Amino acid sequence: STLLRGSAVRDAAPLTGGTVFDPDDLLAQMDELCRKSPRRNTGECVHGCGVGAADSPRLLLVREDIGRHNAMDKLIGQAWLDRIDLADKALFITGRISSEMALKSYRAGCPLLVSRKSATDEAARRASALGLTLVSHCREGGMRVLTHPERVPSR
């Protein structure tokens, strides 16, 4: 059986699925997230989080909070309430990708996690084992695909 408690992951089935995300759409969605974070744009220290579809340059939802974990929890919860299936979507965050953030994306069934910032080595190791695509440094026309690059083909 699969055990997902705290930071421990044992016998977890990797995420699968052939959803492919256009790099230009990912850049457009990240730019939109930064524009649509009203408190962030007024100089407050908050993190934004968004969800986007593979076939669109627009985001479906945006949430923000002073903590990046809380912002992601709010977003995943709202997606659940709105019955948005995350199995073919991408999650976007403005902060660093920690192993816990990668695990949250996996638990939500979302195959792609994108950030403007960096990812920890442990996040990349965990994402690789869980079948999760991590994209870091998504800004200024570029990005780094760290794991499972088949979901984000090179331009």
The torsion of the CA quartet 71, 72, 75, 78, rounded to 10 degrees, works out to: -100
Cα Dmax for the chain: 46
Q: What is the pLDDT of residues 92-133, one digit of tens each?
A: 999 999 999 999 999 999 999 999 999 999 999 999 999 999
Distance CA 119, CA 40 (A): 21
Q: What is the pLDDT of residues 35-55, one digit of tens each?
A: 886 555 566 678 899 999 999
Measured N-to-C along each axis, helices 121-130 and 99-107 cross at an angle, to the nearest 10 degrees, of 20
Q: Is pLDDT above 50 for 14?
A: yes
What is the pTM assigned to this prediction? 0.89
Identify the CA nearest to 127 among candidates 108, 151, 146, 142: 146
